[in-house]
Structure 1
Amino acid sequence: MRFDVLTLFPGMFTGPLSESILKRAIQAGCIAVVLHDIRAYATDRHRTTDDAPYGGGAGMVMKPEPLAACIRAVLAMNGGGETGHNSPVILLTPDGEPFTQRIAAELATYPRLVLVCGRYEGVDERVREALITRELSIGDYVLTGGELAAMVVIDAVARLVPGVIDSESTAEESFSDGLLEYPQYTRPAVWEGRAVPPVLVSGHHGEVAQWRRRERLRRTFERRPDLLVRAALTDADRAYLRTLGWSDPGNGGTGREHRSPVE
């Protein structure tokens, strides 16, 4: 899978792409991350990529000409033409669609993504209308630019690309099926007086699987009850959740009969 990243600060990606799983995935050829400096597409001798906003106000706005030229050039690479073989052109922006695990899984099915890193007060709206096909936000807060957000998207999507990590590792992790992940333990069996739950050292795989499922349900109920509305729940799941105080919204409940201690 290929990630084309359009940015004013390509040096910001050096660290994340040269460490850990992303580094190994690039070396193995599972993914490719190609950085494109938007300044290279500015035509004046100062390589200007921003200007004051029409109507006044603080800050600067990314100019349409260099950014549009960069997007079009990137889409045309490898014989893609301006449509880039329908490669999504994604703008990272605070007012975009909230990025989720579901979206990460969807994006992982594409052979190529084009990620546009916004800066300053934002991108000229005409570029968004003409060339951006999707807008994503990684949270309800504002960063100095879209580079960190692009790194988050690359990391979340890349780990779902076949060959990057063991598929079994992603099967029951948080958000994979609408539930949070169960607690994890490793050696030693007792640490500072705290013991590993006996079921995990019992050797009974069926009981371990049941414990893990119930822990996922319990943790989701306590920490993110909103996720249960969309989670794929069995009758046994629903029965267990009711013992925790959950009231099934599908049967007229509100999702919980009392507030959990963590709220």
Structure 2
Amino acid sequence: MQIDIVSVFPEYFDVLNLSLFGKAQSKGLVSVHAHNLRDWTHDVHHSVDDTPVGGGAGMVMKPEVWAECLDDLLGLEPREMNADGESDSNSDASAGVCDGADATVTTSAAAGGSPGNGTVVTAAESDGTGDAEHLPASDSASADTVPNSDSQAPTHNLGTVLIFPNPSAPLFTQRDATELSHAKRLMFGCGRYEGYDARIPEYYRAQGVDVREYSIGDYVLNGGEVAVSVMLEAITRLLPGFMGNPESIVEESYTGSEALLEHRQYTRPAVWRGMGVPDVLLSGDHGKVDRFRRDEALARTDAIRPDLIEQLDCAQLSKADRKTLMALGWEVSAEHPRRLNRE
């Protein structure tokens, strides 16, 4: 999977050289290019923002800088939009438009001579230093993504997907992470200040680019870098070969067709500071252990995220599941569980 990140702080993503992500780069599972948006500016101050139209506090990231950068990385020619928000048929459209799975993209780095050749974040050489090595983007190797086996995954691979973090956008979920793990190339745009000009995603959608905007929660950050890091980790850990033990992602929270919160985990010692682990986990009876964990997952989800219980398919629930949910105060005779009134 090829990953491009555009930011005014590309050094932020040096952290991707660490831990499993660094190992994934060494194995060729992912290739990461961190680009500095200011490389596409032309003024002495390398300005990327301007005051809001209509007034207001803060600054907004300028569309012309983003457009030069994204056109370069996506291999697109500038096109004027008509009054209907569509590309002007008289404008030059000689470059290939990214249309999802069939898109063929040539980056500016591969073409050479671009002001934004970017930085490839690669794993450090195996000399024990742990220092990041930075190479020209054209020197990096890329690897196609192997389809993920998660039942929520689409049956087709995606091409290039352009993603902008945005606190006003739909919430990024495990389902989104699973779908995006099938993309050949992900491109992230990190906003700053009051955000990016709203015409930027609209324009690239009109060019046939698969553009997504996601929020990672009901709060606001100083910039998109943290949100991109969150999404990147959620997506790439689903790639075959990324995790040391592939079974570790099978029974996690929000995973699979029944998106429940995961049961609690314990390790040795069995008694710590007077606190013991549940006896059933020490019984050696795998059937009882599985049932205990399933019941706890249902109970935790009921207490913390009852909206996930409401999405379950009652026809797919086992007799034991239905018994547990009824004990928790749910009606399970309809298509989906329904919470009964509680005193």
Same fold (TM over 0.5): yes
Alpha-carbon distance in 1 for matches of 2:230, 2:61: 22
Contact map agreement 1:247 1:255 (CA 8 A) in 2: yes
Deviation at 1:212, TM superposition (A): 1.3
Contact map agreement 2:25 2:31 (CA 8 A) in 1: yes
Matched, 1:22 2:21: yes
What corresponds to 1:116 in structure 2? 189
Higher mean C-alpha deviation, range 250-259 or range 114-123: 250-259
Structure 1 stretches (4+) deviating beyond 4 angstroms?
A: 251-254
Matched, 1:98 2:171: yes
SS at match of 1:88: strand
Alpha-carbon distance in 2 for matches of 1:251, 1:159: 33
Contact map agreement 2:310 2:336 (CA 8 A) in 1: no
Matched, 1:243 2:322: no
Alpha-carbon distance in 2 for matches of 1:93, 1:65: 19
Alpha-carbon distance in 2 for matches of 1:249, 1:21: 44
What corresponds to 2:61 in structure 1? 62
Contact map agreement 2:169 2:215 (CA 8 A) in 1: yes
Amino acid at match of 1:182: H
The verdict on how the C-alpha distance between 1:54 and 1:249 changes in structure 2, with shifts beyond 3 A counting, is farther
What corresponds to 1:175 in structure 2? 254
Matched, 1:234 2:314: no
Contact map agreement 2:312 2:337 (CA 8 A) in 1: no
SS at match of 2:183: coil
Deviation at 1:82, TM superposition (A): 4.4
Q: What are the superposed Cα offsets for residues 97-136 of structure 1, whole Å, 9 maximum, x if unpaired?
A: 1001111001101111111111111111221211251101
Deviation at 1:160, TM superposition (A): 0.5
SS at match of 1:143: coil
What corresponds to 1:151 in structure 2? 229
Contact map agreement 1:61 1:122 (CA 8 A) in 2: yes
SS at match of 2:169: strand
Alpha-carbon distance in 2 for matches of 1:97, 1:129: 16
1:1-263 pair list within 5 angstroms: 1-15=1-15, 17-76=16-75, 81-83=96-98, 85=104, 86-131=159-204, 133-165=211-243, 166-176=245-255, 177-232=258-313, 233-236=316-319, 237-248=321-332, 250=334, 254-258=338-342
Deviation at 1:250, TM superposition (A): 3.3
Deviation at 1:172, TM superposition (A): 0.7
Higher mean C-alpha deviation, range 197-206 or range 159-168: 197-206
Q: What are the superposed Cα offsets for residues 76-108 of structure 1, whole Å, 9 maximum, x if unpaired?
A: 39xx94425441111111111100111100110
RMSD of Structure 2 on Structure 1 (CA): 2.1
SS at match of 2:214: strand
Count residues in correspondence. 256
Deviation at 1:46, TM superposition (A): 2.1
The verdict on how the C-alpha distance between 1:19 and 1:253 changes in structure 2, with shifts beyond 3 A counting, is closer
Contact map agreement 1:94 1:141 (CA 8 A) in 2: yes
Deviation at 1:167, TM superposition (A): 2.2
Deviation at 1:7, TM superposition (A): 0.8
Q: What are the superposed Cα offsets for residues 188-209 of structure 1, whole Å, 9 maximum, x if unpaired?
A: 0111122122221221112211
Alpha-carbon distance in 1 for matches of 2:333, 2:193: 43
Contact map agreement 1:221 1:246 (CA 8 A) in 2: no
Q: What are the superposed Cα offsets for residues 24-57 of structure 1, whole Å, 9 maximum, x if unpaired?
A: 2222221122111111011223211111111111
Contact map agreement 2:280 2:292 (CA 8 A) in 1: yes
Contact map agreement 2:8 2:36 (CA 8 A) in 1: yes
Normalized against structure 1, the TM-score is what? 0.90
Contact map agreement 1:247 1:257 (CA 8 A) in 2: no
Alpha-carbon distance in 2 for matches of 1:9, 1:163: 29
Alpha-carbon distance in 2 for matches of 1:25, 1:183: 28
The verdict on how the C-alpha distance between 1:212 and 1:112 changes in structure 2, with shifts beyond 3 A counting, is same
Q: What are the superposed Cα offsets for residues 231-258 of structure 1, whole Å, 9 maximum, x if unpaired?
A: 3551421221111222348379742432
SS at match of 2:213: strand
SS at match of 1:33: strand
Normalized against structure 2, the TM-score is what? 0.70
